[in-house]
């Protein structure tokens, strides 16, 4: 049975329960991170913890744990469960309070760390590429909730994901209020056109993805010009290659968007180079358990 870290101790997954008065449950008041463990190394742990700290700061939540402490517990959660490869979910909720919206009654935040095996995306996604659609649900406005905050409020993305699912697609492209591409429901998006890569800027509604950042680094290493710029659906349709990035997805090719074939309709050559470069990085870099 998986051992879950909950507020200072490891408990069996069946015993890992939070209060019905936790504001994380009542209001989605909290933040989280999804992290990968590859071959006994936690990939980009510092970057994930930095983003968690920024999310906490943005929602006015004081993290009572040091980065060192969090990092030790994360590594411990992997070791306790005998993992060398897997997925780690770190969740910080506002904690237990009364029924009012104000977090003033929440005395201390709760910390949950779940380290488990990852249900990897099937190889088929990488070999054949994904077919995706633009969903009708717009991304929450960056003016309402900063897309930089990885919060427990995923309803917007969940609705878009369900809409795609009902039409037989596993991912949906989400547009922002202005009609520019923001991201997908759980991944960032990149397009290649005439040898240049583009991805929407964070202020267009994109999470500052850790994988996105690694892909930006790889672009510099491979000498592929890259720009963060507003993209329309048209820009995606007429691109030569398109791929999504995320901690779980890594770098996954997209071969069709809204019924339009991307490039040749097969995973792109440059996309393949980025996936290979990404996989070689994860094998070499990381925080040892
Ligand atoms: N956008 C959204 C909405 C996400 O939830 C995620 C994480 N799954 C991403 C982008 C990708 O971010 P990362 O590379 O940090 O996993």
pLDDT tens for residues 269-281?
A: 999 999 999 999 9
Neighbours of 60 (CB within 10 A): 8
170 shares its domain with 109: no
Residue 289 lies in a domain: no
**pLDDT in the model for residue 288:** 87
39 shares its domain with 76: yes
Give mean pLDDT, residues 259-275.
97
Q: What is the pTM of this model?
A: 0.97
97 shares its domain with 141: no
* Mean confidence (pLDDT) of the chain: 97
Ligand 1 centroid from CA 129, angstroms? 19
**pLDDT in the model for residue 57:** 98
> Ligand 1, atom 2: nearest CA belongs to which residue?
186
Index of the ligand 1 atom closest to the CA of residue 147 = 3
Phi, then psi, of 57 in degrees rounded to 5: -60, -45
Give mean pLDDT, residues 223-238.
98
- Choice among 3, 131, 150, 161 that is catalytic: 150
Ligand 1 centroid from CA 87, angstroms? 14
Range of the domain at 212: 123-281
- Segment 102-140, tens digit of pLDDT: 999 999 999 999 999 988 889 999 999 999 999 999 999
Q: Of 116, 139, 167, which one is at a domain's C-terminal end? A: 116
170 shares its domain with 108: no
Domain count for the chain: 2
What are residue 9's DSSP bridge partners?
A: 6
> Ligand 1, atom 5: nearest CA belongs to which residue?
186
Residue 77 lies in a domain: yes
Q: Of 74, 98, 116, which one is at a domain's C-terminal end? A: 116
In the chain, what percentage of residues exceed pLDDT 70? 100
Contacts of 35 (CB under 8 A, 6+ apart): 42, 43, 44, 45, 48, 74, 87, 88, 89, 90, 247
């Amino acid at each position: 049975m998986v051992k879950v870290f909950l507020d200072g101790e490891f408990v069996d997954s069946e015993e890992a329960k939070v209060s019905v008065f936790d504001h994380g449950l009542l209001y989605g008041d909290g933040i989280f991170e999804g992290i990968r463990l590859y071959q006994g190394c936690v990939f980009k742990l510092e970057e994930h913890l930095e983003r968690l700290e920024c999310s906490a700061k943005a929602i006015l939540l004081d993290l009572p744990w040091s980065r060192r402490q969090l990092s030790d517990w994360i590594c411990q959660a992997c070791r306790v469960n005998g993992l060398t490869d897997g997925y780690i979910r770190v969740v910080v909720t506002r904690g237990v309070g009364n029924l009012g919206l104000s977090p003033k009654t929440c005395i201390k935040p709760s910390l949950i760390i779940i380290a488990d095996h990852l249900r990897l995306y099937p190889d088929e996604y990488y070999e054949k590429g994904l077919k995706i659609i633009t969903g009708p649900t717009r991304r929450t406005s960056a003016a309402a909730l900063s897309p930089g905050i990885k919060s427990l409020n995923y309803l917007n993305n969940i609705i878009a994901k369900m809409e795609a699912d009902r039409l037989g697609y596993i991912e949906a492209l989400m547009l922002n209020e202005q009609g520019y591409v923001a991201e997908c429901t759980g991944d960032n998006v990149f397009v290649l056109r005439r040898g240049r890569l583009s991805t929407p800027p964070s202020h267009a509604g994109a999470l500052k993805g850790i994988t996105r950042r690694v892909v930006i680094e790889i672009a510099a290493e491979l000498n592929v010009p890259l720009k963060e710029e507003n993209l329309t659906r048209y820009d995606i349709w007429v691109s030569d290659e398109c791929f999504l990035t995320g901690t779980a997805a890594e770098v996954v090719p997209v071969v069709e968007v809204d019924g339009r074939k991307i490039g040749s309709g097969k995973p792109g050559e440059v996309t393949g180079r980025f996936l290979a470069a990404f996989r070689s990085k994860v094998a070499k870099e990381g925080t040892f358990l």
